[in-house]
Structure formats: structure tokens, C-alpha cells
Amino acid sequence: MRTTVKKGDFASVDEYLAAQPEGARETLQRVRGAVRKALPGAEETISYRIPAYKADGAAILYFAGWKRHYSIYPASARLVAEFGAELAAYEVEKGTIRFPLAGPVPVRLIERIARFRAREVAGR
């Protein structure tokens, strides 16, 4: 008996990315590359139906693609304060940072956010 994957149920980040529209896929691959570079030892998985990066079982960072933007989660108050000036050009709300799909991917900023989150999670 064959089981089918429901829309939104992905077995891997590769599968998640393959399901994205072509233009968004390229952007999300750059986001993925930035996160993986910043968190080389993190486990890459799907959690809450989106890509997630974990260390020692604790979630460090998630990202997701949407119609007009992509998001990085979670954005703690400490993270927002730390990167406030650099995040001013983006929408930051309720623990989410939204970047426009149409703009360039701020790779270095995403790398720094991922490393900050790793330190934040490790310090708990």
C-alpha cells in the first residue's frame, strides 16, 4: 500500500525546497546555505512543516517561504535588540523576521542571526 504525502508534509528540507515556486526556491536555497554555514553541526530537519535547525535536540532556527516573503523564526527580544539597526529595513513582528522575496538575500546578516540564536539557545 502506497502512502501519499499531504501538501505541506515534507520528509526533508530538500523536499520542502523542491515544492517551492522556482523564484522562491533559489532565494530559500541561499537562506539555507547561510544557515548551514553558520551552524555546521546543527541537525537539519522539518518541524512544524518548515525547515528547522537543531542542536542537542533544541531548536535554534526555522525558515519558511511565503508568497511575497520568507521568514526566519524565532526572533527573541534580545535578538531584535542586538540587530535592531540592521533589521530596520525588514518587518519584525511577533518573533518573526520577514524578508522580501524580491530583494537580495542578506546572507551575512542571516549567518550572524543564526550564530546569535545558537549562543542564545546554548545559554539556556
Cis omega before residue 74 (within 30°)?
Answer: yes
Total residue count of the chain as it appears in this document: 124
State the chain's maximal CA–CA distance in angstroms.
54
Select from 3.40.47.10, 3.90.1150.200, 4.10.640.10, 3.40.50.150 the CATH code of 13-122.
Answer: 3.90.1150.200
- Residue extents of the structural domains in the chain: 13-122
- What residue ranges in the chain does DSSP mark as E strands? 43-47, 50-55, 58-65, 69-73, 91-93, 96-100
The answer to whether 31 touches 103, Cβ cutoff 8 Å, is no
**pLDDT in the model for residue 123:** 85
- pTM of whole model > 0.85? yes
Predicted confidence (pLDDT) at residue 6 exceeds the cutoff of 50: no
Residue 60: partners with Cβ closer than 8 Å, 6 or more residues away? 39, 42, 53, 54, 114, 117, 118, 121
Residue 5 has pLDDT above 60, yes or no: no
Q: Is the pLDDT score of 7 beyond 60?
A: no
pLDDT band at residue 124 using 50, 70 and 90 as cut-offs? confident
pLDDT tens per residue, range 87-119: 999 999 999 999 999 889 999 999 999 999 999
